[in-house]
Structure 1
């Protein structure tokens, strides 16, 4: 079992993540191959050694010809769908660009399909996203974790005028993730970097217990005086037993039931892998709920603090558990003229489960003014056609 941890104390951008992957041992050809498969102007990647505050790092340069093309999300989706890409790379890149489009749409108050902005159409952004997704697919990590993200502070001039830092799209993309301003009074996390993190990172935590095998440092273009401008990627094996996690449980009989949805949301934001309620009957016939929370050891303290702060518990049980998780990828299907996210689960390379994102279904139903059950039926059928379950041999 191999896990990874990203040190994002200096923020994140596409080129910094590319550099960290190369510095950790991923061949640059692995990153460049999917970029070369796109039917666009020639884009190449080169690397150079760099230092930031005396620390050695790798910097990756994306060389793209000048272009005034401002592609929409639909244009990018067509490019990625038609290109000869590995399924995991295509699905990962589609998920990243969809996040970018949806975030920009919310910021500018327009539908994602109508968003026209440089970041999504830029050739270097396409190279960043495809290269980073391909690099992590090459590593085949069982889990990718990351520290809180430094976003920067101040303001900058963009295509629409002066914008605050952190940028509105960056904040939208990193909803639910732990972020800080950091010491650098400038943009330290780009929208592309934020979208990649939002899709790829599975847990936000300090450095987890692990046996370190490799470390890669990717340098950004600037060299601020406040700190080394690098993203560090730490790879290794978990120090605890493979698959180990923790189960926290507590019985609560005196909390207003209307508070429970907020409790569960805060637990997930604090790093819990899952959280749920079970109705129970306690002694003397008192109705109550058992709150159950799954988390990794590195998230235990944060999860316990949320349980204590948001419920009326006076104690909880903690026990080790093992978890078996199938490989999962994200995709999209077209449904009634809209897009719905799909989660595809595989076992030993076979597709065994396909499910649609219910929130996408509900949003599309509201947009089309149709019953949710009709859109759900159509989305499920489209997902099953696009990703048929593979029979066992």
Structure 2
């Protein structure tokens, strides 16, 4: 499966995204022909190979004959809808602009349809967004991944005055998205790029396992000998058949030498109730050969702060270690089988469409065992037998 990974170590702009796609193999003449159907007067695209801190990259600069003007969402939607680009590209571009309008509406307390785009509504930004939408489909990737987004720092001068970085509309778009401040005091992530990436990216995560085929670099406008203001786009093939069933999780660990068995059980229950995927303990020896327990918690990245609070509030430790792990999963499904003890759910795991693991749900088996006054193992065995019979 072909995938794309946007490495935003230096942030991103709409022009950088389009440039990276072109540098990675998107046909320039094809893109220009598609953009010509937008009906914008005397539109041309200037592509140049340049260098940022010694790193070769491509610049993408729309050149237009008509005067820049402010447009609302309805007008932009009309421009895109009447074009001859594919329906999928139209849908993607309109979704991106709708996100922008909604973000601006929240910031300015207006209806999205009443938002008059300033920098965002300019011709070059329309071209950036439509180019990214066309390119995404043309390069033929099935899934898009992205690093955490570097946003920069300091302030940026906008149509509404001097604003903090990330700009309010950008910050609104980035809710729930992993971001990183810096590495310089300047705006590195534009609202346009934030809207594009939060629309097309399926998962923000470390670089996934892949066989690299092509790399493209899109150059930004900042010039620095110490800092390459570029966006890197990596295209390649997955190395496992079920990468779509892989994700990233966080491992939290802490050591404690003054916890009772009762409190450990209480903490474990609280962690599960608070969203932990798994909790386990390991006997260890600490300094001066003191017997202790290492508490390990596997959780979703978005649940880290909540689960850390559960641990800290019990006064168990002064610190928690954490690391991001990649997890591969079988495609999961549930089926129900009929046994002599009633209906039991079976969880199955598939690889390349073939079931390679099947396990009865313990809670169902326990209830059936209690009801019929038999051992849980008896019900488990009956469920597996019924499942195997149904599969034949």
Which TM class, normalised by the smaller chain length?
0.5 to 0.7
Pair 186,32 (structure 1): closer, same or farther in 2 beyond 3 Å: same
1:114: Cα distance to partner?
0.5
Equivalent residue number for residue 331 of structure 2: 322
> Distance between the aligned counterparts of 1:61 and 1:319, measured in 2?
41
What is the TM-score normalised by the length of structure 2?
0.65
**Paired residues, what number?**
281
> Distance between the aligned counterparts of 1:212 and 1:199, measured in 2?
24
Gaps of 5+ in 1: 268-292, 294-299, 313-317, 325-393
- Which has the larger Rg? 2
1:166: Cα distance to partner?
1.1
Equivalent residue number for residue 166 of structure 2: 166
Gaps of 5+ in 2: 250-266, 278-297, 312-326, 334-392
Q: How big is each residue's C-alpha offset from its partner over 1:352-377, in whole Å with a ceiling of 9 and x where there is no partner?
A: xxxxxxxxxxxxxxxxxxxxxxxxxx
> Distance between the aligned counterparts of 1:30 and 1:77, measured in 2?
22
Q: How big is each residue's C-alpha offset from its partner over 1:122-150, in whole Å with a ceiling of 9 and x where there is no partner?
A: 11011100111111111121111011111
Pair 320,121 (structure 1): closer, same or farther in 2 beyond 3 Å: closer
Does the Cα contact within 8 Å between 2:170 and 2:191 map onto a contact in 1?
yes
1:121: Cα distance to partner?
2.2
Equivalent residue number for residue 54 of structure 1: 54
Q: How big is each residue's C-alpha offset from its partner over 1:285-336, in whole Å with a ceiling of 9 and x where there is no partner?
A: xxxxxxxx9xxxxxx8847957954778xxxxx8731389xxxxxxxxxxxx
Equivalent residue number for residue 277 of structure 1: none
> Distance between the aligned counterparts of 1:246 and 1:200, measured in 2?
18
Alignment of 1:100-115 (within 5 A): 100-115=100-115
Equivalent residue number for residue 126 of structure 2: 126
Task: Give the secondary structure class of the aligned counterpart of 1:121.
Answer: coil
Task: Give the secondary structure class of the aligned counterpart of 2:119.
Answer: helix
Alignment of 1:174-189 (within 5 A): 174-189=174-189
1:35 maps onto 2:35 in alignment = yes
Alignment of 1:193-342 (within 5 A): 193-243=193-243, 245-246=245-246, 254-255=269-270, 263=275, 302=301, 309=308, 320-322=329-331
Equivalent residue number for residue 157 of structure 1: 157
Task: Give the secondary structure class of the aligned counterpart of 1:151.
Answer: strand
RMSD between aligned alpha carbons?
Answer: 3.0
Pair 21,256 (structure 1): closer, same or farther in 2 beyond 3 Å: closer
Pair 323,209 (structure 1): closer, same or farther in 2 beyond 3 Å: farther
> Distance between the aligned counterparts of 2:57 and 2:328, measured in 1?
41
Equivalent residue number for residue 341 of structure 1: none
> Distance between the aligned counterparts of 1:194 and 1:9, measured in 2?
14
> Distance between the aligned counterparts of 1:323 and 1:64, measured in 2?
51
Does the Cα contact within 8 Å between 2:242 and 2:330 map onto a contact in 1?
no
1:182: Cα distance to partner?
1.8
What is the TM-score normalised by the length of structure 1?
0.65
